[in-house]
Structure formats: C-alpha cells, structure tokens
C-alpha cells in the first residue's frame, strides 16, 4: 500500500474552546493513522470540552497548553514548535481565536505558536451561524487569508444552538483529505535543486562599522521556505539576518558580497534554478581598518569605495542551458524600464520588480507588492500581500516553468 503524503509530516493541531473540540479526537486519530506526527496545543478553554489525557493517549505526546509546565523553570518553546512543524492546523477555531490570530493577541500558547510558525497554517472555523456571519469574523478571516493562511470553510447544518446554518466545523475526514490534497500539490519540485540569495550584505569599514542597507532577509527566506515545502532541495545563501529558515533549507550564512558570490559559485552549476533576492551592497570600502576608528583623532573620514561584484549578472553570464534564473529589482521610482534593462543585461529569465513608491513594499516590513516580468513577455502585477503570500506566488511561477 502506498504511503499517505502525510506520512512523516510534523503537524501541530491547535484546539480551542468549541463544542466541536470532540471532533479533534477523531481528527487526531486520522492524522496519526496517515503516518503524521501530531503535537497538540490546546487553549485553556479547549480543555473544558476535551481532556488532555484523551488527546495525549492518541498522540503519545504530552499535550501543550501553558507556557510553563512546572514551577521548576522549564517552559514550552513556541519558537521550537514553529520550526518543527510542516503544517499547523487549528480545528476547531473559535471566533475569539481567529480574532486573536488576525490581530496578534498572543495571550495563550496556541496563538503564540501560530505567530512563530514558519509552516503553512490551516484554520477550520467552528461557531454559531450568527457569529460566523458577523462582519468582524468575516473581516478577520479575510485578513488571515490575505496573509497566506488557508481557511477550511465550515459546513451548514444543525449547530449547538439547535439553529441551522453555516458554522459547523468541517468533518475530520474532509479536513484530512484537504491536507492530503495540499501536500500532494506541494511535492511538485521534488528532485529540483534551487539556489536562493537573501538578506543584506555588510561591508566592513572597521571591526564595528559597516556599509549596508535595511534589508531583513524576510522575503528571500519566505521564498526558500515555500520552495522547500514543495519538495525542492533549497540552498539558501543568507546575509546578516535574524530570520530563521525551515530546518530542511540548507543555509549558508555569509556577511559580505564577495562571500555571498563565493558561496553561490559553489552551487551554481548544480542548481536547476536560482532566485537572487538578496539586497547586495553595491560597494565595499577599499581598505578595512584593523582597529576601531576613533572620532577623537580626526574631524573627517574619507572612504574610498570599490564596486562589489554583481552576483546575478556573474552567474547569469555563465548560466547553463535549462537553468532558470530570477532576479529582484528594488527601485525608488516606477522602475519598469530599469527592471527590463536588468532582465536583459543580467541574462535572467524573469525579474521581480518592487518599488518604494508603493506603500508596504520593500525592506523591513511584512508585506510586499511586486510586478513579475519574464522573457516570454509576461508582465503581471500582484496586489499588496504578505511576504509569505508573495513567496507562494513566486513558487507557483517557478513550478510552472520547471515542469
């Protein structure tokens, strides 16, 4: 018998305070039967509807509910959970929890884990029909969708109030089937090696100062994660960044543009595709001081800057037949002409334009707004989205071109 696509997957199952929590036992059993490893995180209200001992017996794992398990200094790490998981499923999800997720109210272990999750998140609402239909609930669900979360729409039927309408949590069998379809569709890049550059580069002036930019690496890491989830072997060359890629992403951390280029050259010939999303510093100081420069010793410091290598152009000039290279172009104006110039000059197959003229785009934030150009004449503009959702759009494009 063929293994389920859920076999070996790490799934966080979040349970909240709804009468539909009784379905979580069946849902847990189905996930375990499919070969998934399930870690349950339950809200305090959820424990009023189904006991942790029941759930623990099904998963063979302690159920997590509180930040601190004992009074001995130990605690449950939401960060570790977020890195461990291949998928987070919140079923049932109450109106209260959906609102907290949408607005970042991290007052329990479940929402805190959600905010730390690097994986895809599925939400199965469960509530009375009037609560589900209320504008605030619908606005919160739309906000979650816009950030890349997947909503498993509730079914219609008799509810706990004995009213009839939409609000019943979808049946466990249907939820598991949805996850199977999702993972099956995501394995489209199995066997493909993809090189990603992300983050800024820092070019040293002295041991404590550097030339750099405002990039956080969030966009590039989101792309790396999206491709890894689709089964690709992802090699991420990451400049100075606090972002944490998924464990399955092979990450090489570098500091300078020249270090980034050297790391890319080691992988370039082996990869099927490359996405150059790093914000590489254009120049580096010609001389780096061995000791910290003291302002008391001089009124003025003159820096002589040398041009850094253009990583995308260097690799693009030596691109092998069949390889697909995608670049990024961050501009302060409209930028369309400049993006098309770079597409040609750097021998790229496609380029992603984002401009600081668009509110919410560019460095530092959690959102981006892009236009994608390619050599086949594509010019597709996307609305403002979370960087996670933008990464999914780019993963879809890359998948279509590699098959």
Question: Among candidates 279, 259, 272, 267, which has minimal Cα distance to 236?
Answer: 267
State the Cα–Cα distance between residues 141 and 95, nearest whole angstrom.
9
CB 154 within 8 A of CB 138: no
Q: What is the DSSP letter of 106?
A: -
CB atoms within 10 A of CB 95: 21
How far apart, in Å, are the Cα atoms of 173 and each of 23, 28, 68, 285, 299? 10, 11, 33, 61, 72
State the Cα–Cα distance between residues 354 and 362, nearest whole angstrom.
7
Q: Is 213 a catalytic residue?
A: yes
State the Cα–Cα distance between residues 163 and 96, nearest whole angstrom.
20
CB 229 within 8 A of CB 399: no
How far apart, in Å, are the Cα atoms of 25 and each of 50, 198, 248? 8, 41, 30
State the Cα–Cα distance between residues 129 and 253, nearest whole angstrom.
50
H helices of 65-164, where? 78-84, 95-103, 109-116, 129-133, 135-146
Catalytic residue among 140, 149, 213, 354: 213
SS3 per residue for 304-361: CEEECCCHHHHHHHCCCCCCEEEEEEEECCCCHHHHHHHHHHCCCCEEEEEECCCCCC
State the Cα–Cα distance between residues 195 and 234, nearest whole angstrom.
6
Token digits for 9?
Answer: 């997957």
Residues designated as active site: 213
């Amino acid at each position: 018998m063929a293994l389920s696509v859920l076999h070996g997957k790490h799934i966080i199952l979040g349970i909240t305070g709804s009468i539909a929590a009784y379905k979580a036992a069946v849902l847990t059993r189905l996930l375990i039967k499919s070969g998934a490893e399930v870690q349950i995180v339950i809200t305090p209200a959820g424990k009023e509807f189904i006991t942790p001992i029941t759930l623990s017996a099904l998963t063979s794992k302690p159920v997590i509910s509180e930040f601190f398990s004992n009074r001995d200094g130990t605690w449950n790490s939401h960060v570790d959970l977020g890195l461990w998981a291949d998928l987070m499923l919140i079923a049932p999800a109450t109106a209260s929890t959906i609102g907290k997720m949408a607005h970042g109210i991290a007052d329990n272990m479940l929402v805190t884990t959600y905010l730390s999750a690097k994986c895809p998140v599925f939400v199965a609402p469960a509530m009375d029909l009037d609560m589900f239909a209320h504008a605030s609930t619908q606005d919160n669900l739309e906000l979650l969708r816009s950030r890349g979360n997947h909503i498993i729409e509730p079914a219609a039927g008799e509810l706990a109030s004995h009213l009839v309408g939409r609000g019943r949590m979808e049946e466990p069998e249907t939820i598991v089937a949805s996850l199977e379809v999702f993972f099956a569709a995501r394995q489209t890049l199995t066997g493909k090696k993809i090189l990603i550059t992300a983050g800024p580069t820092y070019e040293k002036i002295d041991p404590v100062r550097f030339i750099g930019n405002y990039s956080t690496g969030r966009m590039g890491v989101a792309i790396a994660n999206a491709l890894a989830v689709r089964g690709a072997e992802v090699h991420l060359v990451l400049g100075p960044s606090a972002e944490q890629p998924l464990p399955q992403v092979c990450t090489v951390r570098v500091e300078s543009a020249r270090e980034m280029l050297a790391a890319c050259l080691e992988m370039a010939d082996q990869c099927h595709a490359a996405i150059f999303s790093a914000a590489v510093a254009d120049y580096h100081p010609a001389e780096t001081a061995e000791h910290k420069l003291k302002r008391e010793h001089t009124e003025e410091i003159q820096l002589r800057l040398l041009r850094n290598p253009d990583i995308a152009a260097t690799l693009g000039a030596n691109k092998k037949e069949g390889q697909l290279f995608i670049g990024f172009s961050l501009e302060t104006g409209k930028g369309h002409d400049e993006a098309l110039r770079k597409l040609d000059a750097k021998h790229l197959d496609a380029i992603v334009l984002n401009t600081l003229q668009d509110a919410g785009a560019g460095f530092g934030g959690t959102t981006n707004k892009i236009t994608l150009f390619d050599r086949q004449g594509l010019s597709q503009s996307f609305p403002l989205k979370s960087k996670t959702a933008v990464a999914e759009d780019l993963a879809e494009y890359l998948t279509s071109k590699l098959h």
